[in-house]
Amino acid sequence: MTTKASAQPPLRRKFKRVWNYRYILMMVLPVIALLIVFSYVPMLGNVLAFKEFSIRRGIWNSDWVGLKYFRQLWGMPQFWSVFSNQLIISFMKLMIGFPYPIVLALLINEVRSPKIRRSYQTAYTFPHFLSWIVIAGIIKGFLADQGLVNQMLLALNASKHRIFNDGDQFRVMLYLTEVWKEGGWNSILYLATLSTINPSLYEAAEIDGAGRWQKILYITWPGLYSTAAILLILSVGNVLSGGFDQIINLYNSVVMQKADIIDTYIYRTAISAGSNYSFATAVGLFKSVINVALLIIANTAVRRMGQEGIL
- The angle formed by the CA atoms of residues 183, 168 and 179, to the nearest 5 degrees, is 0
Distance from CA of residue 192 to its chain's centroid? 19
pLDDT exceeds 80 at position 36 = yes
| pLDDT (0 to 100) of residue 5 | 47
From the CB of residue 106, how many other CB atoms can be counted at a distance below 10 Å? 17
CATH 1.10.3720.10 in the chain is located at 76-304
pLDDT digits (tens, 9 = 90+) for 287-308: 989 999 999 999 998 888 877 7
Q: With b meaning 16 or more CB within 10 Å and e meaning fewer, what string describes 171-205?
A: bebbbebbbebbbbebbebbbebbeeeeeeeeeeb
Q: What is the 3-state secondary structure (H, E, C) of 261-284?
A: CHHHHHHHHHHHCCCCHHHHHHHH
pLDDT exceeds 70 at position 237 = yes
> For the residues 28-46, what does the mean pLDDT come to?
90
CA-nearest of 248, 271, 267 to 131 is: 248
pLDDT digits (tens, 9 = 90+) for 162-192: 889 888 999 999 999 999 999 999 999 999 9
pLDDT digits (tens, 9 = 90+) for 51-62: 988 888 888 888
% of the chain with per-residue pLDDT over 90: 32
Is the CATH code 1.10.3720.10 the one for domain 76-304?
yes
Full-model pTM:
0.82
Confidence of residue 1 (pLDDT cuts 50, 70, 90): very low
pLDDT digits (tens, 9 = 90+) for 245-299: 999 999 888 899 999 999 898 888 777 666 788 888 898 899 989 999 999 999 9
pLDDT digits (tens, 9 = 90+) for 199-221: 888 889 888 888 888 888 888 88
